[in-house]
Structure 1
Amino acid sequence: MIHRNAPLTPTGRLRLARCIVDDGWPLRRAAERFQVSHTTAARWAGRYQLHGQAGMEDRSSRPHHQPHRTSAAVEDEVVRMRREHRIGPLRLAARADLAASTAHRILTRHGLPPLAATDRATGEPVRRYERARPGELVHIDVKKLGRIPDGGGHKALGRAAGRKNRNSTGYAYLHTALDDHTRLTYTENLPDEKAATCADFLTRATAWFAQCGVTVERVLTDNAWSYSKNTWRQTCRDLGIQPRWTRPWRPQTNGKVERFHRTLLDEWAYHRPYSSDAERQAAFPDWLDWYNYHRPHTGISGHTPASRVTNLSGQHS
């Protein structure tokens, strides 16, 4: 890469070399004309004679001979351990008796991505996808969330006082429908996750998306009992929706709604201490409105979910 103060670009190098080789300029005269040393001028003239115009491009600074480079056998062992045990440079370095930086360079040299970018089950690079249009696929899942007792839980009162105030408050079941293309989200707090409750939620979610100008074509859920019952299948047929299910033990397939639930916990449910569950639930509509219409979403290049739905952001006030 050419640094910002370099006197010659590839085009300038070519002009310099042609002046010397093709036009017969003296070396020192050409060097003075292009404001470089005579050794630099000689270098580019020599490369032009050997390689032509292609020789004017930058070369790698890697040395031709590296006597202290890690042997191929050690590199193969590091790559084998990475693929077999799925561990990072620090642990690889300890097992192979190398520096962690050396292990990292070996992984980079062999094109192995960071562990965060690989699938935990297979070790293969994560294959990300996004549907082409709104409504083509809607992810649905339920997040089970412990209710807050009146007076506050341990986050508001501390561990000791929180245990004394703890009672059988039960759980809130947050049912979420998230559009794959836009990340537009509809969530309800319901008392359970039974088949009839899930089916009724799908009906209301489909109507809400329709109000936003999105026609739901397919829904993707996990293999929970509620989503495998005839109640769910019949509701999908009545709404003209194709049901889809993830592979067993593969929650990554439904990762977009799983990631939304993590955001929901970080930015709403556990964002601050609440004195009661009613207080927390009262704050939810404003947070969800902010998520859909105002919060930049890193998964869609910093845009808001509503901005990906035709005219929706303009209709919102």
Structure 2
Amino acid sequence: MADKIVTLTVNPAIDKSTKFSGLVAEQKIRCENPHFDAGGGGVNVSKAIARLGGKSEAIFTAGGPSGELLQDLLKKEAIDYQVIKTKNWTRENFIAVDSLTNAQYRFGMPGAVILPEEANGILKLIEQLSPTYLVASGSLSEGLGDDFYEKVAAVSRKIGSKLIIDTSGEPLQKAIDEGVYLLKPNLGELAKLVGSNVLEIDQVDEAAREIIAKGGCEIVVVSLGPQGAVLVSKDICEHIPAPSVQKKSTVGAGDSMVGGMVWALSQGKSLQEMLRWGVACGSAATMNEGTQLFKKEDAERLFGWLNSYGEKYGKKA
């Protein structure tokens, strides 16, 4: 039986995407009919897990008509969820692609203020659900201090859940001060965590092991974008290149990567297989337009390619 996965999104969004032809200042831009998706880090992770045939329970804040739309969109995708109702409305984001240049414009709106009693409700629900894997992903809404993910980490430790965190800045630093199971920084975020202005790829291993040695986490997966990713644990260091694909959109690629990894973990797969599923799902997501994440068949094909690459170069999963 697969392990229980819960995803946490404290700053979800309605992602509205469209296309237009030619960006001209101070002129009315004619857009195609918009497409609406449920968005936000943890929500996208749950959607990614569902695409692989897995199950998770998404918990998120939701308020106002946009919050109702968010729930309706998840119902259509048959994703289990629980909502922490908020007084303030759920935010909306806007993504537009210029069909003449294929340039993508992404407009992210700030999250509504989360009230103290709503924040406490989030922590209580996590403790009540007591998952095997808890994925905390995305930015924090106003009203939640930089230490909120640190509080989530403390609850996870208390109930024995393995916390996988994907965020940035001070909230990430405070979370690893408490200790998490797995973190997924990019190269710039990893540099900040070890007090460096910049890191080269050949310095990733040492920087990640520094965090692990201090008790910040057990596993670090460093996202390198088109260069793939690096997995570092106490005993493993492995770099997997990203497959060459025709990129249409990078929206949701990071969340797809996390979804692939946590799904693999829940299925009892090795850390090396986990990394390959993550890179496969993240790469597959870039092959689709807008906010559509990835297609299962694309992820499976890319995973097969990555496995062949690993066997060729002696990196068995």
TM-score, with normalisation over the residues of structure 2? 0.24
Relative to its length, the structure with more strand (as a share) is 2
Q: TM-score under structure 1 normalisation?
A: 0.24
Highest CA radius of gyration, 1 or 2? 1
Q: Which has the higher helix share?
A: 1
Quick one: higher RCO (CA 8 Å, sep 6+), 1 or 2?
Answer: 2
